[in-house]
Amino acid sequence: CLKEQRLHMTYFSQYMKDLGDLIVVREKKAMEFERRIREMDYSINMADDTLDPNKGRYEDQKKDLMFKQAQIAQKLEALYLQVDKALADFEETGTEETVKADGGFVHPNIQMHEAILARRHSMLAKARDIHKSEESYLEEAEDELQQSTRVLQQAKEIQLHSLVPALATPRKEKKGAAFTPGAAATPRKNLIFS
């Protein structure tokens, strides 16, 4: 009987780990939908400033994402209920007491939660790395904007428009070179109205 209960324990532990993996995958999808909804909010908010004609499309995409997020939330709730039912059924079998008496017992619920937490830590570390790179990009852009503002203020104060560097198109220049403070202005002698 002990051998059968150990075998039951092995299968049940694997079943709980598989449920834990499904939970993590669905939680990851839910987090991804939340991130994409925030991106759509950003696109919708910026559409007026950038004269983007796709604002309606962004709003439709946001509604679709919110619908999918609600579906994932329902699936997650079903998985949580499935875990609760499996644990209740396991307690009724009496396997836990028998295997505990034999020694070396770790409850499958604990094993499942350890696996879930390990994967959540991994996902959080990756998200933190992405966030740090985005943060550094924003800080760099903010620094460039402050420098550009200072150069423009100086040019305005002394009424010397040649201090303001020429605008570069993103296709011809490298990233961040569009308005570089302190850069020499391009010669304007070839312009018609200079």
The most confident of the ranges 100-114, 133-147, 155-169 is: 133-147
Q: Is residue 163 scored above 70 in pLDDT?
A: yes
pLDDT in tens, 13-36: 899 999 999 999 999 999 999 999
**pLDDT tops 50 at residue 192:** no
Per-residue pLDDT band for 89 (boundaries 50, 70, 90) equals confident
User: Exposed/middle/buried for 187, CB within 10 Å: 0-12, 13-18, 19+?
Assistant: exposed
Check residue 101 and give its pLDDT.
72
Task: Tell me if 20 sits within 8 A of 108, measured CB to CB.
Answer: no
Residue with tokens 């200079």, as numbered in its chain: 194
- 123 or 102: which carries more pLDDT confidence? 123
Banded model confidence at residue 151, pLDDT cuts 50, 70, 90: confident
pLDDT at 170 (0 to 100): 54
What sign has the CA pseudo-torsion 78, 80, 83, 88? negative
What share of the chain has pLDDT > 90, as a percent?
Answer: 38
Q: At 184, is the pLDDT very low, low, confident or very high (cuts 50, 70, 90)? A: very low
Q: Amino acid letter at 8? A: H
Span 132-141, average pLDDT: 87
Indicate the pLDDT class of residue 1, thresholds 50, 70 and 90: low
CA atoms 69, 74, 80, 86: torsion sign? negative
pLDDT for residue 190: 46
Dist CA 91 CA 70 (whole Å): 32
DSSP one-letter code for 166:
P
Supply the mean pLDDT for the chain: 82
